[in-house]
């Protein structure tokens, strides 16, 4: 799971929205299986704001990165 989060962070900074979306789905299902519903809702809301952006602005990339750091800290 930590490896997938790291990959997602890298893909966001590279700018591959499709790859980051696929990895995010994997992370989401990992949280479902880990029974972390509150974190799942939080991360879904974060991603929903960015899902329709073909190229993410720098501030949103930073937001994604900080979200992943929060997830790592929570785990």
Q: What is the rounded (10 degree) CA torsion for 24, 28, 68, 47?
A: 60
Angle 60-66-70 from CA coordinates, rounded to 5°: 140
Distance between CA 50 and CA 46 in Å, rounded? 7
Read off the tokens for 48: 């929903």
pLDDT above 60 (res 22): yes
- The structural domains of the chain, with segments of one domain joined by +, span 2-74
The pLDDT tens digits of the residues spanning 38-70 come to 555 556 666 655 555 555 555 666 666 666 666
Q: What is the pLDDT of residue 69?
A: 67
Task: Give CA–CA dist 1/46, Å, rounded.
Answer: 18
pLDDT at 72: 65
Check pLDDT > 60 for residue 71. Answer: yes
Residue with tokens 């899902």, as numbered in its chain = 51
What integer is the mean pLDDT of 12-41?
Answer: 62
Tokens of 54: 């073909």
Quick one: pLDDT at residue 13?
63
């Amino acid at each position: 799971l930590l490896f997938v989060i790291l990959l997602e962070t890298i893909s966001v900074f590279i700018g591959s929205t499709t790859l980051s979306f696929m990895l995010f789905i994997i992370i989401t299902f990992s949280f479902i299986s880990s029974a972390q519903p509150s974190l799942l809702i939080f991360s879904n809301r974060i991603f929903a704001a960015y899902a329709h952006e073909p190229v993410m602005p720098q501030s949103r990339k930073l937001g994604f990165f900080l979200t992943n750091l929060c997830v790592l800290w929570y785990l």
